[in-house]
Chain A
Amino acid sequence: MRYRIEIFRKDRDNEKGYCQSFWYETESEAETVASALTALNEQSALSDTDGNTARKIEWDCSCLQKKCGACAMVINGVPRLACQAKLSEFPKGLIKLAPLSKFPVVCDLVVDRSIMFENLKTMKLWLTEDAVQTDKSQQLSFESSECIQCGCCLEICPNFYSGGKFYGMSAVPVTMRLLSESDKKASKEIIKQYAKHTFAGCGKSLACRNVCPKKIDTENLLVNANAIAIWKRF
């Protein structure tokens, strides 16, 4: 099958973006957007669908197994992982790729997600005392720790914007892990930060739930975090 891969690109030294399309042919059912991008970049002379020479496509990846979040991008309008999106999911053969729009674009599909990590630092998200582990904490901690900080939830969120006071869903798993393992005293600061940077800005649209590549039950995490932080049900 022949796919037309249309990429919204941006050069490093130019503010303006542009679209460029590439043909990619494969019969393999296993191929993903990630493998297509790799193969295109391995061509000795990459040319677009109009036959023009093109520079290599910049994008990020690491694990190729949905476990590291590096390859998040917008695929046919939906924030997803490139290593998760199989080409066979697009029977019409048109695949549109764009960088996550909530972060500054570095080049092509590479974005600078530093703000996500900065926000976690601002929220002072770390344990201040030894973890208290129980059956319930273990379950919540495990589920929370599955978050790969890819940013898909922020992309889909109607309330998140980079630099705003609301830090979005990606801060919730980190908060939840720490809350689940902290006693009342140790939770105080975390609760304060959570109320300020998460609870107050969340419009409960829960769009994040549908796009989380790890299928984290974001609603469940929110309910648990709110129970502790807002409704004081320890």
Chain B
Amino acid sequence: MDDRTVNVVGAGLAGLAAAIELSRKGVKCNLISFQPSERAQSVLAEGGINAALDTMGEGDTTEEHFKDTMKGGCYLETESAVRNLTDNAPDIVKELYRLGVPFCSENGRIILRNFGGQAKKRTAYAKSSTGKMIMTALIDETRKYEAAGLVTRYQHHELVAMDVKNRQLVSISVKDRFSDDTFTFTGSTILCTGGLNGFFEGMTTGTAANTGNAAAIAFDSGVEFANLEMIQYHPTTVAICNKRMLISEAARGEGGRLYIIRNGKPWYFMEEKYPELGNLMPRDVVSREMYLVSRRDDCEGEVFLDMTGLDDNIWKNKLSDLRSEIISYLHKDPAKEPVAVSPGIHFFMGGIKVTDEHETNIRGLYAAGEAACKYHGANRLGGNSMLGALFGGKTAAASAAVSAGQCIVKKTETPVGTVSSPEIRHILRDVLLEGLGIVRNTKSMNDSLQKINTLCDKTEKNSIDSKRIKFAAAMLNSALARTQSLGAHFLMNDG
């Protein structure tokens, strides 16, 4: 064992994949996360992970997975990177199976389900708790390397600052949330800090513990971001207390149908308008259609997801957890009555801009998972995100291992403020929602930007709030710079 060490910030799927890969290469890793892995958003992932395993006799290929991903993302993603992703997907899923993920299978053959934007069955799943199952297996695997002294966990530690000089990462500052002490860590670092949920507090299916502070800090330190306007609204979510609950795409993959009442009768608008994939069109298309039909004069009420046609076997063997969740939160049995749904923020395609090797524009800094922008273009396909996080984490680790040197950890005396003000957070959220909805127009984006700019005077320079404001403005500027509709960025200008 040598002394080469890499800092990995974030311990969800991407962070764990990176830590495991580093360990296998004999490189040490400081695995730093705000909360333990068990609390990361990755445990919420439900419907499954994509890989062209071709176990369903449909003749699926990695080439088709590649094409569907490119098409779903409106060709905004880098071809070479997506090809690497989809070519490696079967091996990644097989490895997860070897690590004990209880994917639905028959005599060792992994069963696949349908997911959005893909005509063939390609999504491996463990009922509707796939993320939790994969996380459990990876947490156990990482533990082996913790015991071997290769992975050192800092699991109540928050990234609070970055020191970048001449486009080279000098160190990151990390605050122990329990002791309030702050430490600097030198050396190569991979950011796996997840999506930007904290900018839309209460309005996403993910966790607000992914505050977005890490992104704001990185942006302020000169790290380049891309496609920040590409925010995925998942079609089937429901408002619950302080967040949006997801009804997994698996519900539609297994036969659930969307309708709205038009002229007194259910109208299965997706099936009528898009016979090619119907309810399983890519998420941007479905969410937009839901937005538009619910504003038509001849339609009334909300859009419903009808799962009453699913047979007992499917409920029992494939979606029992989803059913009990819906019953528990909505007091409705989806097997017996349709559920009212509406689109909610679910995923951030944009993030830290990385090369195919997951390097950022800052030497010594890498990024992976939902924090990074690489594989999902203008719209992510369901089941590709966990894949992207795992493959990205692994790739970033391989790159970081090459340049890794010693890491020096030092306690610093400079206290760093990390708590953003709820008032500013809420204003930012409301203003961003106005500008960056499912359907956008230039005027409202400009209005939002102006409102955000007026906030600058209300905050202290260099405070976390001022960095968040800067970042929110970048999201809007990114959206304004894209003057044509593309994927999740759908423009409908008046007049």
Interface string of B129-141 (1 = CB under 8 A from A): 1001100110011
CA distance A69 to B38 in the complex (A): 8
Please count how many residues in chain A sit with their CB below 8 Å of the partner chain's CB atoms: 52
State how many angstroms separate the Cβ of B243 from the closest Cβ of chain A: 5
Answer yes or no: B209 CB below 8 A from chain A CBs.
Answer: yes
Answer yes or no: A16 CB below 8 A from chain B CBs.
Answer: no
State how many angstroms separate the Cβ of A42 from the closest Cβ of chain B: 4
Cross-chain contact of A127 among B39, B100, B245, B423 (Cβ < 8 A):
B100
Contact between B241 and A127, CB atoms less than 8 A apart: no
Contact between B39 and A62, CB atoms less than 8 A apart: yes
Interface residues of A in 174-226 (CB under 8 A from B): 174, 177-178, 181
Contact between B129 and A146, CB atoms less than 8 A apart: yes
Interface residues of B in 201-250 (CB under 8 A from A): 207-209, 240-243, 245
State how many angstroms separate the Cβ of B368 from the closest Cβ of chain A: 20
Contact between A120 and B100, CB atoms less than 8 A apart: no
CA distance A70 to B144 in the complex (A): 23
Contact between A121 and B133, CB atoms less than 8 A apart: no
Answer yes or no: B359 CB below 8 A from chain A CBs.
Answer: no
State how many angstroms separate the Cβ of A46 from the closest Cβ of chain B: 11
Interface size class of B (residues with CB under 8 A): 35 or more
State how many angstroms separate the Cβ of B318 from the closest Cβ of chain A: 12
Taking CB atoms, residues of chain B closer than 8 Å to A62 are 35, 39-41, 207-209
Contact between A121 and B143, CB atoms less than 8 A apart: yes
State how many angstroms separate the Cβ of A195 from the closest Cβ of chain B: 19
CA distance A149 to B178 in the complex (A): 19
Tell me if B's interface is mostly helix, strand, loop or mixed: mixed
Contact between B36 and A142, CB atoms less than 8 A apart: no
Contact between B38 and A65, CB atoms less than 8 A apart: no
Taking CB atoms, residues of chain A closer than 8 Å to B241 are 28, 30-32, 34-35, 64, 83
B contact residues vs A (CB 8 Å cutoff): 35-36, 38-41, 43-44, 97-100, 102, 105, 108, 126-127, 129, 132-133, 136-137, 140-141, 143-144, 146-147, 153, 155-156, 177-178, 180, 207-209, 240-243, 245, 325, 422-423, 426
The 3 closest A-B pairs by CB, nearest first: A131-B100, A126-B144, A145-B136
A and B contact pairs by CB, cutoff 8 A, 26 listed: A30-B240, A34-B241, A38-B242, A42-B426, A60-B39, A63-B39, A63-B41, A63-B44, A65-B44, A65-B245, A65-B325, A68-B38, A68-B43, A69-B38, A83-B241, A112-B178, A121-B143, A125-B143, A127-B140, A131-B100, A133-B100, A137-B102, A141-B100, A149-B38, A174-B140, A178-B100
Instruction: Kindly list 14 other residue pairs between chains A and B, CB separation below 8 angstroms, not including A64-B241, A125-B140, A146-B132.
Output: A28-B241, A30-B241, A31-B241, A42-B426, A62-B40, A62-B207, A63-B43, A112-B178, A117-B36, A133-B105, A141-B100, A142-B126, A148-B43, A174-B140
A contact residues vs B (CB 8 Å cutoff): 12, 28, 30-32, 34-35, 38, 41-42, 44, 60-65, 67-70, 83, 106, 110, 112-114, 117, 120-121, 124-127, 130-131, 133, 137-139, 141-142, 144-149, 174, 177-178, 181
